[in-house]
Amino acid sequence: MQSRVVPLEEGEEPTPINRTNQSKPSTLRPIRVLVLFLVLCIAVSIISIHTIRYFGINSVVTTAKSTFRPCYEEPRSLEQWITPPSNLMHNMTDKELLWRASLVPRIKKYPFQRVRKIAFMFLTKGPLPLAPIWERFLKGHEGFYSIYVHSLPSFQANFPPSSVFYRRQIPSQVSEWGRMSMCDAERRLLANALLDISNEWFILLSESCIPVYNFSVIYRYVMKSRYSYMGAFDDHGPFGRGRYNLNMAPEVHINQWRKGSQWFEVNRNLAINIVEDTIFYPKFEQFCRPACYVDEHYFPTMLTIRAGNLLANRSITWVDWSRGGAHPATFGRSDITKEFFKRILEGHNCTYNHGTSSICFLFARKFAPSTLQPLLQLLPKLLAF
């Protein structure tokens, strides 16, 4: 690039170029930035001093705490530990779920007001045709019960948000009658229910079950009982001890072998015994297969060995075996009469807390879907709910 030559007038002396003057702007720029920075710092300091004098140091610290989040997680409140899951669906495996459900507090006295609840656990293939009966039964008793439904994984319930069954399905798997998968489903129900620290009693029901007393009677009956209700009989016949396998020893000897109804009620301690079991489960899984029906033997035998003194050794769910066969009778629309319910409610005597009681059954089964309408007409008058 050529320099532009400026012609000189006659007699004019050329002016020398001042290299020093040209470098001054580049030298002064950092100094100016530094001065501006110092002025800004002084201004911030003065403002801070006046703020502390006017508002006080505690206010400034409080503001700082609310503005900046700590780099560590703050301890969770007690409310977060005792509030039951709002959504029953989760991605835990059965192994993870049973481990989580087996956790128990070592201090027995609760540091909060705990309202004890009944967990109604429904083991069903899909629909709950008698749901309106349970809706009527539970109405007005919110806070004293919980509901859990184990169905086929493919079943999608469509209960409205106002229903007590709305979003009460748990993560489920296919279960087969007489096989260990049935006990797995029952343990799954118990484990999910144990995640709510307020659940104290756990009642297993089917889609064909109905209550035969109102909620207040059932709650009081269960609450005051010293025992849990699971049949555990020493049956010496072919359908009892005849199903025992010698490979069950040494964990289970033949004189410890028990049989009972699948439908039970247990308290929280026994529910934990069931979900935490790793001793008896493998034996029953391997050596109790049809014609040994594991759902009739596993829980009665295991709980008899672990905590037999806590069992009432009877069921509180009424069924009718008088018609014969491998399964109890199923009742239809024409069976629903006042005389029919007298058979369930009257003429019974059983042991209750070392005394005698005429109230022996709190639930009954098996009722077909066709019984819904006559039950809705009869039960509210008969049972006052």
Domains in the chain: how many in total?
1
Beta bridge partners of 363: 211, 317
Could you tell me the two tokens for 248?
């069950």
Residue length of the chain: 385
Q: In Å, what is the CA distance from 69 to each residue of 56, 63, 66, 74, 76?
A: 22, 11, 7, 10, 15
Residue appearing with tokens 């109604």: 120
Sheet (strand 199-206) strand order = 145-150, 117-123, 199-206, 265-267
Going residue by residue through the chain (385 aa), what tens digit of pLDDT does each one get? 444 444 444 444 444 444 444 445 555 666 776 677 777 777 766 776 665 555 554 444 444 444 444 444 555 788 888 888 888 999 999 999 999 999 999 998 999 999 999 999 999 999 999 999 999 999 999 999 999 999 999 999 999 999 999 999 999 999 998 899 999 999 999 999 999 999 999 999 999 999 999 999 999 999 999 999 999 999 999 999 999 999 999 999 999 999 999 999 999 999 999 999 999 999 999 999 999 999 999 999 999 999 999 999 999 999 998 876 778 899 999 999 999 999 999 999 999 999 999 999 999 999 999 999 999 999 988 888 7
The reply to whether 68 falls in a domain is no
Alpha-carbon span 103 to 327, nearest angstrom: 37
Burial 73-102 (b: 16+ CB within 10 A, else e): eeeeeeeeeeeeeeebeeeeeeeebbeebb
Residue appearing with tokens 């995640």: 195
Q: In Å, what is the CA distance from 306 to each residue of 102, 278, 344?
A: 16, 13, 32
Containing structural domain, residue 166: 85-105+113-315
User: Which pLDDT score, from 0 to 100, does residue 65 have?
Assistant: 43
User: Which pLDDT score, from 0 to 100, does residue 75 have?
Assistant: 53
Beta strands 265-267 and 199-206 are antiparallel
Beta bridge partners of 204: 121
**CATH code for position 126:** 3.90.550
The reply to whether 64 falls in a domain is no
148 within 8 A of 121, measured Cβ to Cβ = yes
The reply to whether 224 falls in a domain is yes
Stated as kind and residue range, the H or E segment containing 95 is helix 94-101
The reply to whether 10 falls in a domain is no
Could you tell me the two tokens for 175?
């279960």
Q: Which residues fall within 8 angstroms of residue 251, CB to CB, at 6 or more apart? A: 279, 280, 283
Q: Which residues fall within 8 angstroms of residue 357, CB to CB, at 6 or more apart? A: 349, 350, 351
Measured over all CA atoms, what is the biggest interatomic distance in the chain, rounded to whole angstroms?
144
The reply to whether 354 falls in a domain is no
The reply to whether 292 falls in a domain is yes
The reply to whether 308 falls in a domain is yes
227 within 8 A of 263, measured Cβ to Cβ = no
Query: Hey, CA dihedral for 317, 348, 350, 308, is it positive or negative?
Result: negative
Query: How many Cβ atoms sit within 10 Å of the Cβ of residue 261?
Result: 21
User: Which pLDDT score, from 0 to 100, does residue 255 have?
Assistant: 97
Could you tell me the two tokens for 53?
């004098």
Beta bridge partners of 208: none
User: Which pLDDT score, from 0 to 100, does residue 29 have?
Assistant: 67
User: Which pLDDT score, from 0 to 100, does residue 85 have?
Assistant: 84
User: Which pLDDT score, from 0 to 100, does residue 49 have?
Assistant: 64
Q: What is the DSSP letter of 12?
A: P
User: Which pLDDT score, from 0 to 100, does residue 333 have?
Assistant: 96
User: Which pLDDT score, from 0 to 100, does residue 377 have?
Assistant: 94
Stated as kind and residue range, the H or E segment containing 285 is helix 281-287
DSSP string, 13-73: PPPPP-HHHHHHHHHHHHHHHHHHHHHHHHHHHHHHHHHHHHH-HHHHHHHHHHHS--SSP
Alpha-carbon span 300 to 304, nearest angstrom: 6
The reply to whether 8 falls in a domain is no
Q: For residue 32, which amino acid is it?
A: R
Q: In Å, what is the CA distance from 285 to each residue of 90, 127, 133?
A: 26, 29, 36
**Apex 192 CA angle, 299 and 73, nearest 5:** 135
Q: 154 — phi, psi (to 5°)?
A: -80, -15
